[in-house]
């Protein structure tokens, strides 16, 4: 440890021990970063100016810092350290910036209510919400959101009605949820801010593989925020937000006619297994 770092650490002594711990670790890593990369004063100031620009992009509807965190894999890393559970649970995956209140809908309703419905591949999404032991969870609430075929959420696009491609569903007595939509498309994350500057600088594309977002809640269980991704998407291995997990990828199948659809359609099946409240590694595997 350098004398300078020792001196900085020795003066961290606030009233909250957790704040002291976090600031000390952050400062230690940043000093190690400076030792390793040896930035010139101009480079350091350029880095600080980048953060100032990031702050200027933020509005009540847009948080460019969250986007940077997503694009560096940091949001996924924080998600992972906070969502351990049994091996058969549905893994969580980042929320992203586009959740907003969804209209309540009945099982089987369309969530696509705009012109994208004529352009897209009709798709039935169905599955059950279960406990990790397989018990169906009746009355679970499944909150869904999806971008349209041009890659925009209703909140980003004045031409879409509020609530388009969103829905709040309640599972039936068997834990079943189902709804109709269009096949999700891959789309780029916003690149007109410092998030885009970063992606261009490090030679990454801005694409997210086709997905649907889920937020699932049920009494006595840990709420789950996750995605379902479509098998075969070219961006599964290089998601701009590093949110893909193997267990969340599903193959759309040609519809077999059970869901009352007119004409050809695809179906995606995605069961969600929630972790009971109070689950801990120690309780699950007592020594």
- Interface residues toward ligand BEZ, by CB under 6 A: 67, 70, 94, 96-98, 189, 208, 241
Contact at 8 Å (CB) between 144 and 205? no
97/175 with CB nearer ligand BEZ: 97
Nearest distance, CB of residue 213 and Fe ion, angstroms: 6
Element (H, E) at 28: helix 17-37
Residue nearest to ligand BEZ (CB): 96
> How crowded is residue 261: how many other Cβ atoms within 10 Å of its Cβ?
15
Strand order in the sheet with 141-145: 166-170, 141-145, 211-217, 224-230, 249-250
Residue nearest to Fe ion (CB): 96
Considering only residues 72 to 111 of the shown chain, the ones binding Fe ion according to CB under 5 A are 96
Contact at 8 Å (CB) between 284 and 86? yes
Nearest distance, CB of residue 237 and ligand BEZ, angstroms: 16
- Separation of alpha carbons 213 and 146, rounded Å: 6
94/218 with CB nearer Fe ion: 94
Which one of Fe ion, ligand BEZ, none interacts with residue 236, CB within 5 to 8 A by kind?
none
Nearest distance, CB of residue 151 and Fe ion, angstroms: 9
Element (H, E) at 253: strand 253-254
CA-angle at 137, arms to 131 and 143, nearest 5°: 100
Which one of ligand BEZ, Fe ion, none interacts with residue 272, CB within 5 to 8 A by kind?
none
CA-angle at 56, arms to 70 and 30, nearest 5°: 55
65/110 with CB nearer ligand BEZ: 65
Nearest distance, CB of residue 13 and ligand BEZ, angstroms: 37
Nearest distance, CB of residue 239 and ligand BEZ, angstroms: 9
Which one of Fe ion, ligand BEZ, none interacts with residue 132, CB within 5 to 8 A by kind?
none
- Separation of alpha carbons 91 and 137, rounded Å: 17
175/184 with CB nearer ligand BEZ: 184
Which one of ligand BEZ, Fe ion, none interacts with residue 193, CB within 5 to 8 A by kind?
none
Tell me how many residues contact Fe ion (CB under 5 A).
1
Question: Can you state the percent helix, strand and coil of the chain, rounding each to 5?
Answer: 30, 20, 45
Nearest distance, CB of residue 37 and ligand BEZ, angstroms: 26
Q: Which residues bind Fe ion (CB under 5 A)?
A: 96
């Amino acid at each position: 440890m350098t004398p300078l770092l020792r001196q900085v650490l020795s003066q961290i002594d606030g009233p909250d021990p957790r704040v002291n711990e976090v600031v000390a670790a952050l400062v230690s890593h940043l000093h190690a970063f400076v030792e390793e990369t040896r930035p010139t004063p101009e480079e350091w100031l350029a880095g600080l100016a980048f953060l100032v620009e990031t702050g200027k992009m933020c509005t009540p509807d847009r948080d460019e810092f969250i986007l940077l965190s997503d694009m560096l894999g940091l949001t996924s890393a924080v998600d992972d350290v906070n969502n351990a559970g049994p091996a058969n649970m549905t893994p969580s995956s980042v929320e992203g910036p586009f959740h907003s209140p969804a209209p309540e809908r009945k099982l089987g309703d369309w969530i696509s209510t705009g012109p994208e419905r004529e352009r897209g591949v009709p798709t039935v999404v169905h599955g059950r919400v279960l406990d990790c032991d397989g018990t169906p969870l009746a009355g679970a609430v499944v909150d869904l959101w999806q971008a349209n075929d041009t890659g925009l959420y209703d909140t980003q696009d004045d031409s879409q009605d509020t609530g388009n491609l969103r829905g709040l569903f309640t599972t039936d007595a068997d834990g079943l949820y189902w709804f109709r939509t269009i096949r999700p498309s891959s789309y780029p994350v916003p690149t007109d801010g410092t998030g885009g500057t970063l992606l261009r600088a490090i030679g990454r594309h801005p694409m997210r593989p086709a997905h649907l977002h889920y937020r699932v809640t049920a009494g006595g269980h840990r709420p789950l925020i996750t995605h379902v991704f479509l098998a075969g998407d070219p961006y599964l291995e290089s998601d701009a937000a590093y949110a893909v997990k193997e267990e969340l990828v599903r193959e759309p199948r040609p519809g077999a006619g059970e869901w009352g659809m007119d004409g050809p359609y695809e179906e995606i099946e995605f069961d969600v297994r929630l972790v009971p409240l109070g689950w801990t590694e120690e309780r699950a595997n007592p020594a």
